[in-house]
């Protein structure tokens, strides 16, 4: 078997919380704990969960924007974190990020062309007319025209800005794109265009995606594999079909059941598919009927395989 | 509130918007003659993309349009009275009492320097003339009615101490404090997680049903609209392009724009095991001329009321 493109091993990210009083005990927010994920080449891995579940923190550690407390991230078998980690420039050619709000992530005082070619110059890839050609080619690739290079971000619509955000991320030919809620700030009609563009690019460029989203219908549509996170841990993981046709962890079921779906309402039936059976005398972890305290040490639990590439977290 | 209206006489609408026009000055019109009715106890949805004019429609009904936007024509008849002809003082008396609003982002809509209990109590002091101690007791009751746990304690909290879902519940408690006839909810759950969204929508539906409050729900999310509304108006580029009962709209959309909007959404459970298909893009379904034209709103009459909940 080929080694995975990216491997997240036992990742934990903790943040110190303020003491409740001067003499109070030290408190930590366990934003991410014991997360193991793999991303294969050409695959789209989606991380879903509610705000505060640690999905963005996980993505930021992949990008090198957040130091992990423990655990490691390997890219093609080589560590991306710790002492042997590559520098920022090298990293920039491995993974790039597409942000939720494209306008906030673009420099308002720079033309699109300058912004895109700056990366090429910085990495010593191309200058002058060659850089211009590359920028023009990239703009065409994301569905814009070469003369857009002379314009400023405010001259574009939301959908066009997201296309620019994608072009910016792709300029250095990265292997991995981290998509942080790539369409949730866009209108319904624009969402479809951006999703189609992302799927086309993935095919033509052989990209791998880590997509963070709370929109389950989009996740179902584009993912190969899905990881469901709840309070810093992965509670269920599997290929998209197992997750959507046999959602098993109570949290996954709640998440899928909460999506307001026009069809289900109109046909009157909102049946969630059956859960996969879990071994006797075991129970799901964590118990979602009460809100876990992120400061507390979590109960011991493991991800147990319940089907072909389908795992769910059970208490030990 | 149940039962079909007997005979051909429909009930008098709570809100009747006629040929409403909003613009920047006289020359730049943004909303081009929107008309719709909301019956007592009805939940009416306005759906559209950003810039379609759905939010400014809601704001103009409340009288909260900000300069340079202004109403340039039409009428907004609320309980038999054209509110556009009322003075500022009279409108302020209506607001919060007979008509109330829930905004998208509760953190910016709530006062960060006052406890939530005080912000709810304010409604009773201003509109019901209660004294503060009595109003505070009512505020705790109001918090209890929106199912905030430990309401006594929560009434003493400040907005930043509450989660997003709890803040939105406080907003709803404030809006429904005086039992208004009309609740305008502008994207009430867009800022919330899906699991929290379901609870908040259910709460709005339940409380408004119990009190017979009419609701104008403004949203871009067709799923939320289908979940909540009995009747839906679709807005595009400052026009109401289509108005139908919810079921009819989803089963048989009349306007090409609505068809495009419905087709562009990936639906949960629609992906086939063989692979991922491309999504339909809006402009493959509807052409530019079809969208911008000055056409009448396509409507079908309201069906039997019973059918909607069946």
Q: Are A188 and B220 in contact (CB under 8 A)?
A: yes
Range of the domain at A226: 6-87+207-315
Return d(Cα B188, Cα B206) in angstroms, integer: 15
Instruction: Answer whether B281 touches A (CB < 8 Å).
Output: yes
Residues of B in contact with A213 (CB under 8 A): none
Whether A242 maps to a domain, the answer reads yes
- The answer to whether the CB of A313 falls within 8 A of the CB of A301 is yes
The per-residue pLDDT for B190 is: 83
Q: Does B224 touch chain A (CB under 8 A)?
A: yes
A96's tokens: 């790039």
Closest CA to B33 of B63, B4, B53: B53
In a domain, A34, yes or no: yes
The number of folded domains in chain A is 1
**Which residues in chain A touch residue B247, judged by CB atoms under 8 angstroms apart?**
266
Place of tokens 């009428």: B75
Residue A137 lies in a domain: no
> Do A95 and A71 form a contact (C-beta atoms < 8 A)?
no
Give the residue ranges of chain A where pLDDT is below 70: 1-2, 264-271
Of B222, B269, B310, the CB nearest to A244: B269
Q: What burial class does residue B58 get, using C-beta atoms within 10 Å of its C-beta: 0-12 exposed, 13-18 middle, 19+ buried?
A: buried
Closest by CA position to A239, among listed A256, A255, A222, A226: A226
Taking each helix axis as running N to C, give the angle between helix B164-176 and helix B132-145, from 0 to 180 degrees, rounded to the nearest 10.
120
**Interchain proximity B264–A263, CB inside 8 Å:** no
Element counts in chain B: helices (H) and strands (E)? 14, 11
Question: What totals of helices (H) and strands (E) does chain A contain, helices first?
Answer: 10, 12
pLDDT of residue A270: 60
Cβ neighbour number for residue A229 with a 10 Å cutoff: 25
Q: What is the pLDDT of residue B1?
A: 45
Residues (pLDDT < 70) of chain B are 1-9, 292-293, 304-310
ipTM value for the complex: 0.78
A24 domain residue, yes or no: yes
What is the pLDDT, as a whole number, of residue B7?
55
Q: How far apart are CA A123 and CA A137, in angstroms?
A: 18
Interface test with A, best of B166, B266, B272 (most A CBs within 10 A): B266
Substitution target from B149, B276, B277 for chain A, most A beta carbons within 10 A: B276
Of A255, A221, A236, nearest to A306 (Cα)?
A236
A267 located within any domain = yes
Is residue A64 assigned to a domain? yes
Nearest to B226 among A218, A254, A266 (CB): A266
Residues of chain B contacting A187 with CB distance shorter than 8 Å: 49-50, 220
B205 and chain A in contact, CB less than 8 A: no
Residue closest to B209 by CA, chosen among B42, B10, B46 = B42
Task: Convert A260-295 to b/e letters by CB count within 10 Å (16 or more is b).
Answer: bbbebbeeeeeeeeebbeeeeeeebbbebeeebebe
Question: Hey, which residues 20-59 in chain A have their CB within 8 Å of chain B?
Answer: 50-51
Residue to test with chain A: of B164, B194, B227, most A Cβ within 10 A: B194
pLDDT recorded at residue B285: 82
Distance of residue B265 Cα from the nearest chain A Cα, in angstroms: 7
Q: If you ran DSSP here, which 8-state letter would residue B158 be given?
A: -
Q: Is A99 within a domain?
A: no
Name the residue among B193, B227, B278 with its Cβ closest to that of A260: B227
**Does B293 contact chain A (CB < 8 Å)?**
no
CB contact under 8 A, A217 and B224: no
Report, in this order, helix, strand and coil percent for chain A, each rounded to 5. Answer: 35, 25, 40
Buried b vs exposed e over B209-245: b needs ≥16 C-beta within 10 Å?
A: eeeebbbbbbbbbbbbbbbbbbbbbbbbbbbbbbbbb
CA geometry: angle A200, A159, B45, nearest 5 deg = 115
Note whether A254 contacts B: Cβ–Cβ < 8 A.
yes
- Residue A12 belongs to a domain with what CATH number? 3.40.50.300
User: Strand A95-98 and strand A176-180: pairing?
Assistant: parallel
* CA–CA dist B283, B92 (Å, integer): 43
CB atoms within 10 A of CB A308: 9
3-class SS at A211? strand
Contacts of B50 in chain A (CB under 8 A): 158, 187
Contacts of A101 in chain B (CB under 8 A): none
Provide, as residue numbers in chain B, all residues whose Cβ is less than 8 Å from the Cβ of A258: 194-195, 197-198
A241 touches chain B (CB under 8 A): yes
Residue A133 lies in a domain: no
A296-308 pLDDT, tens per residue?
777 888 899 998 8
Closest by CA to A195, choosing from A159, A148, A243, A245, is A159
Supply the pLDDT for residue B6.
52
- Measured CA to CA, the distance from residue A305 to residue A313 in angstroms comes to 9
User: Cβ separation of B251 and A266 shorter than 8 Å?
Assistant: yes
Which letter does DSSP use for residue A111 in this model?
Answer: -
**CA A144 – CA A204 distance, rounded (Å):** 17
Entry pTM: 0.86
Does residue B235 sit in helix, strand or coil? strand
Chain B contact for A171 (CB, 8 A cutoff):
no
């Amino acid at each position: 078997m080929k080694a995975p493109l990216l491997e997240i091993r036992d990742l934990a990210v903790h943040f110190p919380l303020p003491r409740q009083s001067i003499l109070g005990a030290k408190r930590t927010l366990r934003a991410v704990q014991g997360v193991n994920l793999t991303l294969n080449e050409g695959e789209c891995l989606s991380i879903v969960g509610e705000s505060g579940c640690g999905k963005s923190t996980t993505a930021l550690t992949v990008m090198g924007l957040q130091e992990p407390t423990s655990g490691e991230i390997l890219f093609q078998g080589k560590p991306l974190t710790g002492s042997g980690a590559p520098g920022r420039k090298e990293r920039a050619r491995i993974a790039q990020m597409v942000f939720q709000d494209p306008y906030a992530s673009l420099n308002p005082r720079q033309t699109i062309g300058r912004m895109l070619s700056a990366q090429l110059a910085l990495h010593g890839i191309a200058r002058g007319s060659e850089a211009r050609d590359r920028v023009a080619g990239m703009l065409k690739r994301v569905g814009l025209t070469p003369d857009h290079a002379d314009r400023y971000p405010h001259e574009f619509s939301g959908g066009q800005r997201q296309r620019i955000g994608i072009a910016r991320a792709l300029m250095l030919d990265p292997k991995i794109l981290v998509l942080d809620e790539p369409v949730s700030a866009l209108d319904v009609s624009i969402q479809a265009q951006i999703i189609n563009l992302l799927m086309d690019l993935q095919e033509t460029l052989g990209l791998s995606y880590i997509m963070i989203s709370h929109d389950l219908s989009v996740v179902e549509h584009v993912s190969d594999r899905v990881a469901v996170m709840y309070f810093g841990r992965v509670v269920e993981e599997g290929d998209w079909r197992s997750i959507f046709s046999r959602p098993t962890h109570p949290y996954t079921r709640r998440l899928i059941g909460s999506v307001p779906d026009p069809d289900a309402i109109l046909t009157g039936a909102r049946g969630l598919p059956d859960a996969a059976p879990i071994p006797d005398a075991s129970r799901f972890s964590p118990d979602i009927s009460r809100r876990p305290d992120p400061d507390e040490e979590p109960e011991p639990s493991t991800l147990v395989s319940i089907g072909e590439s389908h795992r769910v977290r059970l208490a030990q | 509130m149940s039962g079909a209206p007997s005979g051909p006489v429909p009930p008098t609408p709570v809100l009747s918007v006629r040929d409403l026009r909003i613009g920047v000055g006289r020359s730049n019109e943004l909303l081009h003659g929107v008309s719709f009715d909301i019956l007592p106890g009805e939940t009416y949805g306005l759906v559209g993309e950003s810039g379609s004019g759905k939010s400014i429609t809601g704001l103009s009904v409340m009288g909260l349009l900000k300069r340079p936007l202004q109403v340039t024509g039409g009428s907004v008849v609320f309980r038999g009275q054209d509110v556009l002809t009322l003075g500022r003082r009279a409108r302020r008396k209506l607001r919060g009492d007979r008509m109330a609003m829930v905004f998208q982002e509760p953190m910016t809509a709530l006062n960060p320097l006052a406890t939530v209990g005080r912000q709810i109590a304010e409604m009773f002091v201003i509109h019901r003339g209660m004294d503060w101690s009595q109003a505070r007791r009512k505020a705790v009751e109001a918090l209890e009615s929106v199912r905030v746990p430990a309401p006594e304690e929560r009434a003493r909290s400040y907005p930043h101490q509450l989660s997003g879902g709890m803040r939105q519940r406080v907003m709803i408690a404030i809006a429904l404090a005086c039992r208004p006839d009309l609740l305008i909810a502008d994207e009430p759950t867009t800022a919330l997680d899906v699991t929290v969204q379901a609870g908040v929508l259910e709460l709005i539906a339940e409380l408004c049903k119990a009190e017979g409050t009419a609701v104008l729900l403004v949203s871009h999310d067709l799923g939320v609209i289908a979940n909540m509304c009995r009747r839906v108006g679709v807005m595009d580029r400052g026009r109401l392009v289509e108005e139908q009962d919810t079921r009819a709209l989803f089963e048989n959309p009349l306007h090409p724009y609505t068809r495009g909007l419905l087709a562009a959404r990936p639906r949960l459970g629609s992906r086939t095991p063989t692979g991922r298909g491309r999504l339909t893009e809006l402009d493959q379904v509807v052409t530019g001329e079809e969208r911008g034209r000055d056409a009448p709103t396509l409507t079908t009459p309201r069906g039997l009321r019973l059918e909607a909940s069946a």
